[in-house]
Amino acid sequence: MDSCASEPEPASSQTLTKNALKGERRPMANDDAVDPAQYLRNRIQRLALQKESGLNPYPHKFEVSMSATEFIRKFGSLHVGEHVENTEISLAGRVLNKRSSSSKLYFYDLLGDGAKIQVMAEARHSDTDENEFAKYHSAVKRGDIVGICGFPRYNLFAPGYATGKSKRGELSIFPRSLVVLAPCLHMLPKHTITSNSAGAQHNHSWTPGTTRNPETYVLRDQETRYRQRYLDLMLNPEVQKMFRTRAKIISYYRNFLDNLGFVEVETPVMTMAAGGAAARPFITHHNELDMKLCMRISLELYLKKLVIGGFDRVYEIGKVFRNEGMDLTHLPEFTTCEFYMAYADYNDLMDLIEKLLSGMVKELTGSYKIKYHGNGFDSEPIEINFTPPFRRIDLIEELESRANLSIPKDLSTETANRFLLEACEKFDVKCLAPHTTTRLLDKLVGHFLEETCINPTFIINYPEIMSPLAKWHRSKPGLTERFELFVNKRELCNAYTELNDPEVQRQRFAEQLMDRQMGDEEAMVLDESFCTALEYGLPPTAGLGMGIDRLAMLFTDSPNVKEVTLFPTMKPQD
Amino acid sequence: MEGLKVWRLSSSIARPSNLRQLFGFGAPSPLVLRCLNTVAAANAATNTRNRRSSTSTSTPTSTSDREAVRAIRLKKVEQLRSKGLEPYGYKWDRSHSARELQEVYKDLNNGEELDGESHHVSIAGRIVARRAFGKLAFLTLRDDSGTIQLYCEKERLLNDQFEQLKTLVDIGDILGASGSIKRTEKGELSVKVDSFSILTKSLLPLPDKFHGLTDTDKRYRQRYVDMIANPEVADIFRKRAMIMKEIRKTVESRGFVEVETPVLQGAAGGADARPFVTYHNSLGRDLYLRIATELHLKRMLVGGFEKVYEIGRIFRNEGISTRHNPEFTTIEMYEAYSDYQTMMDMAEEIVTQCALAVHGKLAVDYQGTEIQLQRPWRRETMHNLVKEVTGIDFTELEDDLKVAKDAVLKAIGVGIDSKDKSSIEACPSLGHLLNEVFEISVEPKLLQPTFVLDYPIEISPLAKPHRRHPGLTERFELFICGRELANAFSELTDPLDQRARLEEQVRQHNKKRAETVADGTEEKNKNEDSMYEVTLDDDFLTALEYGMPPASGMGLGIDRLVMLLTDSASIRDVIAFPVLKISQ
């Protein structure tokens, strides 16, 4: 995209302002010609002049009678040329584009709360005289936030109408008055039309579950989009919809659980020991108590304590933190939902999550199928089908049949370890040291099974050695009643019938310790307070954890988790 | 069976004399195996003839008792397994919760039984009390909705299940049971059990009231035990969930969108507080835990969202007290094109809706004071409130700070402690002084809901200057029960003014820090309030330069709201697992 070069660089640090403040006074130049720093200096100068003359360039309030969305909903059915001059309405938003055909006529595209409407400012409708009108409007800049009082009408000057494409013209607001509520001091990046994006540039029709093309965005530079998300939201109309979709996902999830009688709780973020998952925690320090604290890496152990305390159905939606490297699907902080249901087992949860996910997809997209660039934006999108029931495959059985192996039943032995190591070598499946049985098996599963999971698929019955918190299988020795749900080859959920025998739990922690001693730093640490809690009796319970970010990625055609995180952690800028 | 019924009610209202009386009532010296956590029950247990040796009876306080119980119960685990019974079951299908049964069969007459397919029910929960006679046993089962009695007759139970019940089931175990419905002659609704299953064998004895209730530290550390012993503790957290739900409902019905902004940040801004610091290994840099959500939510307004909110955890590296936990939950909300008047209405709406959801009424008792939440609430300026309480009219005070301080000390100096006095002396401006007088003299008196308006600009770096009164801002704080519940302003949108104010804040902070360094020893400095760095959030200032619409915003402390609406004295009562000092 060499077209990026012509975009003005968005201001990203204070230096610009500081320089601008020092800058000497110069006459205003034509906007498109000036360089961004000069533009900023001009704007700041004007601000200073306004303040000197006793004007407040930042008014305290503007009474809005309706949002842009309501405006479209309410007046979308007006007839051509029909206008309701007695209907006084007021609305506000940001000027995304400005055109003038004469000093008596200005057009603006106004963006308010995700909706775009046209403003047609004519001197003859204005409350002020023509001179004032021209003077005020010539000073309004692209990016300014303005408040408008006026009336609605179909504008016959709209491009579509003039060329005969549209018989109705475009619904517009005709201002009687227009006031700048907050000036934009920087030059906004403009859309630069490129050969392959020309056709799709104003794609306002994006809906959850359909594909996107970020190459057509007004603001395309990824770094800038993530570091200055407000510009991304302002200039790329889909992005607001993506985050509204994220909010809807969480809200659907919450309602679904609430309707089943689950109670939402909050467990601590900072704890004495980080348990419930295999990951490196963030460490911090409480000054007054002079105490080391870890940030949680999972919600599991505290939520199970609440089940022990008598909450039969409990959940939490919250941030979890892992002190690990960042890549397309991993950020140091992310949002998960975990829920625990007493007297249920993992079979119940498979049914429940199937219903939840397929229902959510149906509700948000209108069908069970979503389109997703599973192989990057360069390849054709794939279709992911959430029609229930989801495929269920047994981990060991499926692995044996796909790789034509006969895996030893007792996985805790040295023989089993050697067998799997050889299998990895045979199939050229890479596994970095330490070669614990858990890690070897995990790699084989990734290679042979996860790769086949495009549509939602439950991989069930994980071995005990891989699942220190899951209950042993009621009929298959060495295995647990655990499943992971994979969509587009990635883990979306992890769930099991919870291990509630405190003695067995202690043994499992001890086995983890052995892996740790072999060099696996991510093996789980014994949490004595959790084992004690189990001794008071955890009812038979099934629990599930789901990554909200990954779910949001699927709905918004985002192969990168930063796309669905408002302000992702970024590397420091030089 | 009356005894059991009373027990169920008793955990919160134990009045030993009444209970003892009731326990003595009628029943021909029942065998009380071990009754949970009531004074009366323990008394009853001690009075019983048939006190059983190990698994039965009172208070295993010492470690050895506990270990003994554990060993015995572990044997029972083995015994069950040897019979082919799994002491940690996999699942249980419930047809009803205890409360549902109590409701469905509320009209069943005493002594009446309902057999037949449609009255065959199945329930599960924890056994919290038990009495056994020769061929009859009564168990009280509690699930998360309430309690119900299990009526167990030897003839009716399959095989040797009655024997199992007597020898292998302990109080604290989790049982699933099914059977028909019967209301006893004494009026106790019961499930007449024809089969049951031990779903989870508990290994540790539940505490009784002596132990569990008085040891506050343990109550917080092992909250789950507290909840088992005292169901009303769990109720606080159910109410907390209701309040959260009600807040969300209230703001979403007004079009607010929920967003998530980062906890880990390069610079912690939006408030004046010491942040927690952590280190990100792969980035090789320090990160701060957020001390407010304000600056990121305002970026959302710049980005074009007009109504946003976030409910989330905030972290401040400060001392712990009955009002402070290092992590706490707030809702922050921002609405474009509105001013702080809008947020006053919003605060009233949120708090009253929550009160109605929890109590069904607007008169709320908090620690013995009746709080009237009927709208509208009093709205008064800080100046007027200070004048009203202390007689000092700050509008008439000279600009000379020294003179003003003398006037203040003359007016309220008698009866305040030396710490307050030195705070007054230390005030760097008239605005700070006004606020100090307000905090000392007025705040504790604001029991009924009061909006305190128009704070001095010196202490409000993110609020817009007042449109009519120079030196003041369009800011309010909401006080109930002498505590700040919410803080809101017409947001400062002028990027140049904002930069100047934040730079001034950093300057002030660094000055204070330098002074501390100058006159303190190394050791003392470590815990001084000001010994942390305050950095400017430049990205935020840049965002403002792109233009943020006029807006108002509010932060409301959810823990404090829950305290108010659940009549809880300490923040630790409303946070499931509060931060505690390292146990000895």
Task: Give A425-457 pLDDT, tens digit per residue.
Answer: 999 999 988 898 999 999 999 999 999 999 999
Mean pLDDT of chain B: 86
- B106 touching A (Cβ < 8 Å): no
Collect all residues of chain B within an 8 Å Cβ-Cβ radius of residue A286. 276, 317, 326, 579
Is residue A308's pLDDT more than 50?
Answer: yes
Half-sphere exposure of B115 (CA within 13 A, CB side): 2
Instruction: Taking residues B99-119, report their average pLDDT.
Output: 93
What confidence score (pLDDT) does residue A204 get? 55
The pLDDT confidence band at residue B581, using thresholds 50, 70 and 90, is confident
Q: Are B158 and B195 within 8 A, CB to CB?
A: yes
What confidence score (pLDDT) does residue A159 get? 56
CA proximity to A391, closest of A439, A458, A443: A458
Instruction: Taking residues A278-286, report their average pLDDT.
Output: 92
What confidence score (pLDDT) does residue A517 get? 81
Q: Are B80 and B168 within 8 A, CB to CB?
A: yes
Collect all residues of chain B within an 8 Å Cβ-Cβ radius of residue A280. 281
Q: CA-to-CA distance for A76 and A72, rounded, in angstroms?
A: 5
Of A323-332, A397-406, A448-457, B154-163, which gets the smallest average pLDDT?
Answer: B154-163
- Give B315's contacts (C-beta < 8 A, 6+ positions apart): A269, A270, B263, B275, B276, B289, B290, B291, B326, B327
Is residue A203's pLDDT more than 50?
Answer: no
Residues 114-133 of A with CB under 8 A from B: 114
| C-beta atoms surrounding A461 within 10 Å | 24
CA proximity to A437, closest of A417, A461, A415, A463: A417
Is residue B550's pLDDT more than 80?
Answer: yes
Tens of pLDDT, residue by residue over B359-407, are 999 999 999 999 999 999 999 999 999 999 999 999 888 788 999 999 8
Nearest to A11 among B240, B327, B545 (CB): B545
Nearest to B91 among A234, A324, A343 (CB): A343
Nearest to B490 among A60, A92, A540 (CB): A60
Q: CA-to-CA distance for B522 and B77, rounded, in angstroms?
A: 58
How far is the first Cα of chain B from the last one, in angstroms, to the nearest whole number?
Answer: 43
CA proximity to A299, closest of A254, A255, A330, A268: A268
List the structure tokens of A470.
Answer: 């899951």
Give the containing element (helix H, strand E) for A508: helix A502-517
What confidence score (pLDDT) does residue A457 get? 98
- B146 touching A (Cβ < 8 Å): no
Instruction: Tell me the DSSP string of B73-122.
Output: HHHHHHHHHHTT--SB-S----S--HHHHHHHTTTPPTT-EE-SGGG-EE
Q: CA-to-CA distance for B509 and B532, rounded, in angstroms?
A: 9
- B203 touching A (Cβ < 8 Å): yes
> Best mutation site among B174, B198, B286 for testing chain A: the one with the most A CBs within 10 Å?
B174
Beta-strand (E) ranges in B85-156? 113-114, 121-132, 136-143, 146-153
CA proximity to A275, closest of A543, A17, A512, A13: A512
CA B15 to chain CA mean position, Å: 26
Distance from CA of B402 to the nearest CA of A (A): 33
- A113 or B34: which carries more pLDDT confidence? A113
- Give B15's contacts (C-beta < 8 A, 6+ positions apart): none
Is residue A2's pLDDT more than 70?
Answer: no
List the structure tokens of B227.
Answer: 């909840």
What confidence score (pLDDT) does residue A56 get? 92
Residues 328-347 of B with CB under 8 A from A: 329, 336-339
The residue type of B449 is P
Instruction: Tell me the DSSP string of B363-401.
Output: EEEETTEEEE-PSSPEEEEHHHHHHHHH---GGGS-S-H
Say how many residues make up chain B: 584
Exposed / middle / buried, residue A449 (Cβ in 10 Å: 0-12, 13-18, 19+): buried
Q: Are A139 and A154 within 8 A, CB to CB?
A: no
Most distant CA pair in chain B: distance in Å?
93
Note whether B276 contacts A286, CB cutoff 8 Å: yes
Instruction: Taking residues A512-529, report their average pLDDT.
Output: 80
**What 8-state DSSP symbol labels residue A160?**
H
Instruction: Look up the pTM and report it.
Output: 0.89
Note whether B300 contacts A230, CB cutoff 8 Å: yes
Note whether B173 contacts A186, CB cutoff 8 Å: no
Determine the residue of chain B that is closest to A64 in CA distance.
B337
List the structure tokens of B37.
Answer: 């956590």
Instruction: Taking residues B58-74, report their average pLDDT.
Output: 77
| C-beta atoms surrounding B306 within 10 Å | 25
Q: CA-to-CA distance for B31 and B136, rounded, in angstroms?
A: 11
What confidence score (pLDDT) does residue A275 get? 83
What confidence score (pLDDT) does residue A306 get? 97
Instruction: Taking residues B76-89, report their average pLDDT.
Output: 95
Note whether A535 contacts B94, CB cutoff 8 Å: no
Is residue A574's pLDDT more than 90?
Answer: no
Collect all residues of chain A within an 8 Å Cβ-Cβ radius of residue B304. 93-94, 111-114, 230, 233-234, 240
The pLDDT confidence band at residue A10, using thresholds 50, 70 and 90, is low
What confidence score (pLDDT) does residue A481 get? 98
- B299 touching A (Cβ < 8 Å): yes
CA proximity to A145, closest of B491, B23, B63, B367: B491
**What are the two backbone dihedrals, phi and then psi, of residue A92, each rounded to the nearest 5 degrees?**
-150, 160
Mark residue A81 as left, alpha or beta (left: phi above 0; alpha: psi -120 to 50; beta: remaining).
left
Instruction: Taking residues A512-522, report their average pLDDT.
Output: 79
What confidence score (pLDDT) does residue A32 get? 60
> Best mutation site among A16, A39, A142, A230 for testing chain B: the one with the most B CBs within 10 Å?
A230
Note whether A285 contacts B237, CB cutoff 8 Å: no
List the structure tokens of A248.
Answer: 């809807």
Nearest to B474 among A60, A232, A326 (CB): A60
Exposed / middle / buried, residue A157 (Cβ in 10 Å: 0-12, 13-18, 19+): middle
Distance from CA of A286 to the nearest CA of B (A): 6
Note whether A284 contacts B238, CB cutoff 8 Å: no
Q: CA-to-CA distance for B543 and B526, rounded, in angstroms?
A: 35
Note whether B94 contacts A267, CB cutoff 8 Å: no
**What are the two backbone dihedrals, phi and then psi, of residue A199, each rounded to the nearest 5 degrees?**
-70, -30
Q: Are A297 and A279 within 8 A, CB to CB?
A: yes
Q: At what angle do helices A548-555 and A346-365 cross, to 10 degrees?
A: 40
Q: CA-to-CA distance for B418 and B424, rounded, in angstroms?
A: 10
Collect all residues of chain B within an 8 Å Cβ-Cβ radius of residue A16. 542
How far is the first Cα of chain A from the last one, in angstroms, to the nearest whole number?
Answer: 24
Q: CA-to-CA distance for A237 and B29, rounded, in angstroms?
A: 77
Q: Are B488 and B555 within 8 A, CB to CB?
A: yes
- B19 or A132: which carries more pLDDT confidence? A132
Note whether B206 contacts A342, CB cutoff 8 Å: no
Determine the residue of chain B that is closest to A263 in CA distance.
B241
Q: CA-to-CA distance for A553 and A384, rounded, in angstroms?
A: 13
- B436 touching A (Cβ < 8 Å): no
What confidence score (pLDDT) does residue A101 get? 84
- A332 touching B (Cβ < 8 Å): yes
- Give A175's contacts (C-beta < 8 A, 6+ positions apart): A119, A121, A125, A126, A148, A149, A150
Instruction: Taking residues A321-327, report their average pLDDT.
Output: 93
Is residue A260's pLDDT more than 50?
Answer: yes
- B27 or B428: which carries more pLDDT confidence? B428
CA proximity to B454, closest of B401, B507, B498, B395: B395
- B234 touching A (Cβ < 8 Å): yes
Tens of pLDDT, residue by residue over B154-164, are 999 987 899 99
Q: CA-to-CA distance for A56 and B123, rounded, in angstroms?
A: 68
- A80 or A374: which carries more pLDDT confidence? A374
Of B15-29, B86-100, B532-546, which gets the smallest average pLDDT?
Answer: B15-29
Of A46-60, B33-47, B269-283, which gets the smallest average pLDDT?
Answer: B33-47
Is residue B297's pLDDT more than 70?
Answer: yes
What confidence score (pLDDT) does residue B217 get? 80
Is residue A5's pLDDT more than 90?
Answer: no
CA A126 to chain CA mean position, Å: 43
What confidence score (pLDDT) does residue B530 get? 63
Task: Return the C-alpha torsion angle B22, B23, B29, B35, nearest 10.
Answer: 160
List the structure tokens of A385.
Answer: 């089908």
CA A46 to chain CA mean position, Å: 38
What confidence score (pLDDT) does residue A81 get? 60
Strand partners, B148: B141
List the structure tokens of A197.
Answer: 């994006």
The pLDDT confidence band at residue A276, using thresholds 50, 70 and 90, is confident
Exposed / middle / buried, residue A36 (Cβ in 10 Å: 0-12, 13-18, 19+): middle
Of A391-405, A524-538, B482-496, which gets the smallest average pLDDT?
Answer: A524-538
Q: CA-to-CA distance for B73 and B79, rounded, in angstroms?
A: 10
Tens of pLDDT, residue by residue over B418-474, are 889 989 999 999 999 999 999 999 999 999 999 999 999 999 999 999 999 999 999
The pLDDT confidence band at residue A374, using thresholds 50, 70 and 90, is confident
What confidence score (pLDDT) does residue A14 get? 42
The pLDDT confidence band at residue B51, using thresholds 50, 70 and 90, is very low
Tens of pLDDT, residue by residue over A159-188, are 555 555 555 567 899 999 999 999 999 999
What confidence score (pLDDT) does residue B412 get? 87
Q: Are B231 and A310 within 8 A, CB to CB?
A: yes
Nearest to B538 among A14, A567, A572 (CB): A14
Note whether B126 contacts A537, CB cutoff 8 Å: yes
3-class DSSP string for A481-499: CEEEEEECCEEEEEEEEEC
What confidence score (pLDDT) does residue A83 get? 61
What confidence score (pLDDT) does residue B159 get? 79
Instruction: Taking residues B169-174, report their average pLDDT.
Output: 95
Note whether A61 contacts B490, CB cutoff 8 Å: yes
The DSSP bridge pattern shows strands A391-394 and A457-460 to be parallel
Mean pLDDT of chain A: 88
> Best mutation site among B200, B296, B575 for testing chain A: the one with the most A CBs within 10 Å?
B200
- A467 touching B (Cβ < 8 Å): no
Instruction: Taking residues B343-353, report their average pLDDT.
Output: 98
Collect all residues of chain B within an 8 Å Cβ-Cβ radius of residue A70. none
The DSSP bridge pattern shows strands B121-132 and B31-32 to be antiparallel
Q: Which of A268-282, A389-403, B39-53 has the highest mean pLDDT?
A: A389-403
> Best mutation site among A39, A61, A521 for testing chain B: the one with the most B CBs within 10 Å?
A61
Q: Are A304 and A533 within 8 A, CB to CB?
A: yes
Note whether A182 contacts B543, CB cutoff 8 Å: no
Work out the percent of chain A whose per-residue pLDDT is above 70. 88
What confidence score (pLDDT) does residue A366 get? 96
**What are the two backbone dihedrals, phi and then psi, of residue A497, each rounded to the nearest 5 degrees?**
-70, 125
Work out the percent of chain B whose per-residue pLDDT is above 90. 68
Distance from CA of B34 to the nearest CA of A (A): 16
